[in-house]
Amino acid sequence: MDRVAFLARLSRSLAHAQLPPDAAQARDAEVATTSGRGEILRLFLDRAHESGAVPCVVPTIQAAQEAVEKLVARRAWTRVVCRSSMVWPGIGSIHSSDARSADLGLATADWAVAETGSVAVESSPEADRSSSLLPAATGFFVSLESILETTGDALRKQLAREPRAIPSCTCLVTGPSSTGDLAAQHVVGAHGPVEVFIWVIEGSADAAPAAETSRADD
Amino acid sequence: MSTKAARRAFHERAGRALADPALQRIIAEGQDYVQTHLEPARAQAWWPAALEEIGRVRSETLAHLDDYVAQFASNVEAAGGHVFFAGDAGEARRHVTELAVQRGVKTVVKTKSMVTEEIALNGALEARGVEVWETDLGELIIQMAGEKPFHILGPAIHKSLEDVCELFSRSAGRQLPADPQALVRYARETLRERFLTAEMGITGANFGVAATGSVVLVTNEGNGRMVTTMPRAHVVVMGVERLVPTFPDLEAILKVLPQAGACMRATAYVTAVTGPRKTGERDGPEELHVVLVDNGRSRILGGRYAEILKCIRCGACVDVCPAYRKIGGHTYDSVYSGPIGAVLSPLLFGLERYAELPYACSMCGACSEVCSARIPLADQLRSLREDVVAEKLGARSTGVGFAAFAAVAKRRRIWSALEQAALPLVAWAAARGEWSSIPGPLGAWTRSKALPRPEARSFRAQWRNKDRR
């Protein structure tokens, strides 16, 4: 059916639609964020933990890098995938096209939501989707100041942009993947990552490490 | 199928469900689990206001649906996507199938999508030699079992662990342990390769955002991310009513939907896709196609049942319905079950075929109370019963019986005369006590309950004597 006919059919139906009278009322005025940074951080950590993620707070990017190195060493992981601007001397990394064989995928969260303990990743030429999707474990660097208090704040501030400015994909990640479809039993780890680590960086507006000569071939 | 045959088939299916103790236990446990775990969220101060807001947003969208559809389509195209307007199921099936065939697609991976079930897409693709893999675990299970969904959010909740183990073992060609972790791991390993090699991914949409042309998926398993990232073509099939005006309009929905649907504060993933991958991006689909499906929705929009299109598919009504609790999802013989299915199925697919569904209801009103979008489901079910009667689709004996009752009830003298004549019979029945079985056609009333002992005197006789005393 062509667009004009399709829309015309809807318009004709609307002339007779029986909908409740409150349809045209405006939404209530937005409620501004009132909590302080400390409260937002505490809420984020609680909710992230509740979702099954493993969050922690570190003072600087360097401390986050050290935490990642310790985790990788403890787990004897050998293949870490991340975008090139995240590479640093202490972490071996593989090209993002090999994300499927990585032990750990690292990503910088573009923003986060305290109310749900979620981190958001937006796709771009510099940030692929696969790194935080294909490996069984993923880790996110989140800057403290990028944590918004509520989902509503996120929707209003981050996603209500001009259409041309919207990323091709924004994914809000809350804990590891899971399913309740198997005899109503909750099982962690379905098709997405089985483990989610979050390092909240207190110290800097830019969570990405300084650009280094990349070991990963771009 | 005639209405009479459909009625008989409905009662046969209901009878099978009622006679299956294992099924009865699974459904009851599932409903009880949801009610118990949802209670803390429902008790929150924000919950009622959130439901009102969802109802408002959905009503606003429907009231201007033509404008929002036009805006959404323009924005999808501005972001590099393609939009197809499908008047009915056939058009939608043909278009998606042609997209696959033209691109030499051998394998499709799909997320859970009720509308793709509604239009019977899988069969059409398979008939053209395309292998279709359902990737939502529940959908994968029923695909293997060759069944319809049992519940709109948990399509395989009726399957026990042993049932699933048998299905997966048969597929694997070896015996798998009846252990949830092991079975999920099998599904993960089996589908991982399909995600990576499939040429086309097909999803539904929880919502489309008109202001940006974005498609939003609310998922837990990660299959939604996989299907929208790995294949080179992404096709979204969505009902035309599944829009919201702007991203902020999703706020209340994203708070309520995970709770009502999965008893979670937030699902693992909320994915917003806007167009195909942009220049320079390393992954994501190269093409995005959105298929907007009417298939009767504009007809519903133009009538007294328009509010049913506000549904956000949260499953709250299904999880509280006492009728569903006893007869389960397959009795409805439709993609949509429970109260939402009892209203939507006759409206989309014909009252003749689904005349029994409005009667699969105790009129308790629980569905209306819990509905996340404030749809007056119980009122709509009652209205559909009126339609069944008006179109003479009910059982002939019921129609004759009610016509006879109406003829007598409108005539006080005849009513009183019959009452007097029946007194000796009533007195005899009263002396017998409770009636646990009545012979003949009225026996259906006592199949699962006992009638109380009748009063020996009519209410009016008692009322008249009350004042004298």
Q: What is the ipTM of this complex?
A: 0.90
Q: Does a structural domain hold residue A69?
A: yes
Mean pLDDT calculated for residue range B426-438: 72
Nearest to B59 among A7, A19, A168 (CB): A19
Class of the domain covering B44-298: alpha beta
Q: Does a structural domain hold residue A100?
A: yes
Q: How far is A72 from chain B (nearest CA, A)?
A: 23
* Spatial CA neighbour of B53 closest among B208, B256, B218, B212: B256
Ranges A82-91, B150-159, B388-397: which has the least confidence: A82-91
Q: Which domain holds residue A171?
A: 35-201
Q: Does a structural domain hold residue A160?
A: yes
Note whether A169 contacts B284, CB cutoff 8 Å.
yes
* Spatial CA neighbour of A178 closest among B184, B450, B130, B315: B184
Note whether A125 contacts B280, CB cutoff 8 Å.
yes
Query: pLDDT tens across B232-247, in order?
Result: 999 999 999 999 999 9
Q: Does a structural domain hold residue A197?
A: yes
Give residue B90's pLDDT band: very low, low, confident or very high (50, 70, 90).
very high
- With CA atoms as reference, the chain B residue closest to A7 would be B66
pLDDT at A34: 67
Query: pLDDT tens across B166-211, in order?
Result: 999 999 999 999 999 999 999 999 999 999 999 999 999 999 999 9
Note whether B271 contacts A192, CB cutoff 8 Å.
no
Nearest to A163 among B79, B265, B277 (CB): B79
Q: What count of other Cβ atoms lies within 10 Å of the Cβ of residue B387?
A: 16
Give residue A213's pLDDT band: very low, low, confident or very high (50, 70, 90).
very low
Nearest to B160 among A16, A160, A183 (CB): A183
Tell whether A57 lies on the interface with B, counting CB pairs under 8 A. Answer: no
Adjacent-strand bridge partners of B290: B83, B236
CATH 3.40.50.10420-classified regions of chain B: 44-298
Q: List, as ranges, residues 159-198 from A with C-beta within 8 Å of B.
A: 159-161, 163-164, 166-185, 187, 189-193
A76-89 core/surface letters (b: 16 or more CB in 10 A; e: else): ebebbbbbbbbbbe
Q: Does a structural domain hold residue A157?
A: yes
Q: Does a structural domain hold residue A110?
A: yes
| Residues on chain B touching A178 (C-beta within 8 angstroms) | 220-221, 268
Note whether B265 contacts A47, CB cutoff 8 Å.
yes
Domain containing residue A80: CATH number = 3.40.50.10420
Task: Give how far Cα A168 sits from Cα of A130, A147, A205, B167, B303, Å.
Answer: 14, 22, 24, 38, 37
* Spatial CA neighbour of A82 closest among A34, A35, A133, A22: A133
Q: Does a structural domain hold residue A14?
A: no
User: What domain count does chain A have?
Assistant: 1
CB neighbour class for B141 (10 Å; exposed up to 12, middle 13-18, buried from 19): buried
Query: What is the percentage of chain B residues whose pLDDT exceeds 70?
Result: 98
Tell whether A9 lies on the interface with B, counting CB pairs under 8 A. Answer: yes
Tell whether A62 lies on the interface with B, counting CB pairs under 8 A. Answer: no
Identify the residue with better confidence: B304 or B398. Answer: B304
Angle at B143 between CA B171 and CA B190, to 5 degrees: 45
pLDDT at B447 over 60: yes
Q: Does a structural domain hold residue A17?
A: no
Phi first, then psi: what are they for B243, rounded to 5°?
A: -120, 155
Sequence letter at residue B372: S
Identify the residue with better confidence: B420 or B353. Answer: B353
- With CA atoms as reference, the chain A residue closest to B275 would be A168
pLDDT at A33 over 60: no
Query: Would strands B82-86 and A195-201 be described as parallel, antiparallel, or unpaired?
Result: unpaired
Note whether A182 contacts B137, CB cutoff 8 Å.
yes
Query: pLDDT tens across B384-430, in order?
Result: 999 999 998 888 877 788 888 889 999 989 988 888 888 777 777 76
